[in-house]
Amino acid sequence: MSKKIRIDKLLAHMGLGTRSEIKKAVKFGKVTLAGKVIKDSGIIVDQDTSEVAFEGVPVIYRDVVYFMLNKPRGVISATEDGRERTVIDLLESQDRLREPFPVGRLDKDTVGLLLLTNDGQLAHELLSPRKHVAKTYEAIVQGNVGETDKEQFSIGVTLDDGYVTLPAVLEIIGQEEREDGTFSSISLTIMEGKFHQVKRMFEAVGKTVVYLKRVSMGPLALDESLPEGSYRELTLEEVELLRAHKRK
Ligand code: URA
């Protein structure tokens, strides 16, 4: 069934700018409908059949979706798996139909922010090693994390395969003595995403991560009101933040 939509909403949905940027673009005659320049950014079009073009380039409507999931333990960051439950299994069936996939991976036992989308281009940009998208994690680490680790992480540590990490920001939140030793609460921001990176960085300094949660990725912060295992669509503001970040 075809769907009616305001032209500025359609263009914003397709990532061509914010609603106010699009309003300006319309004013400057950059948007055409069936080959004719339009003057009204509130004009209603059919998302599937109207011939809309932006700066002369046809705009093909796609149903892009962005979900923020608070990933629980015990599910894997994949779209399908013969044996294990995946993050896609946590979605309602109508959301699965839109074929979102996870942007990057969190380990099976890692919790927290995972973006799911069917926007391949945005996912690609967020994962590109060239873009150095910051990811912040909170963790509980077995061992006494201290100033030396902070300095080490700020320079870069050598992982088990010889790779030297980019500078990372380690903050020590607290320390707790338990029967089985000292445990440190920390936050760590890294600008890359090597396999098991956070766990391997602590292994490199002789410590073990026992709990790991991602709290942000680029400009997107985990909505702490989302219980583990729940998800919601990103707000328009969040989508715009991600898109602006991508353009950087
Ligand atoms: N680093 C890890 O070690 N595990 C994750 O899931 C994410 C980052």
The CATH code that applies to domain 4-58 is: 3.10.290.10
**DSSP notation for 72-139:** PTT-BSSS--SSS-BGGGGS-HHHHTT--EESS---TT-EEEEEEES-HHHHHHHH-GGG---EEEEE
Mean pLDDT of the chain: 95
Topology, domain 134-217 = Alpha-Beta Plaits (3.30.70)
Topology, domain 66-129+219-247 = Alpha-Beta Plaits (3.30.70)
Q: What is the pLDDT of residues 34-73, one digit of tens each?
A: 999 999 999 999 998 999 999 999 998 888 999 999 999 9
For residue 92, give the nearest of 202, 229, 240, 239 by alpha carbon.
Answer: 229
Identify the residue whose C-alpha is closest to ligand 1 atom 7: 106
What pLDDT is attached to residue 2?
72
Which residue ranges does the chain devote to CATH 3.30.70.580? Answer: 66-129+219-247
**pLDDT band (50, 70, 90) for residue 157:** very high
| pLDDT over 90 percentage in the chain | 88
pTM of the complete model: 0.87
Ligand 1 atom nearest 196 alpha carbon? 3
Identify the residue whose C-alpha is closest to ligand 1 atom 4: 196
CB atoms under 10 Å from CB of 195, counted, come to: 11
Q: Is position 107 annotated as part of the catalytic site?
A: yes
Which residue ranges does the chain devote to CATH 3.10.290.10? Answer: 4-58
1 pLDDT more than 90:
no
CA of 48 to the centre of ligand 1 (A): 40
| pLDDT over 70 percentage in the chain | 98
Which residue ranges does the chain devote to CATH 3.30.70.1560? Answer: 134-217
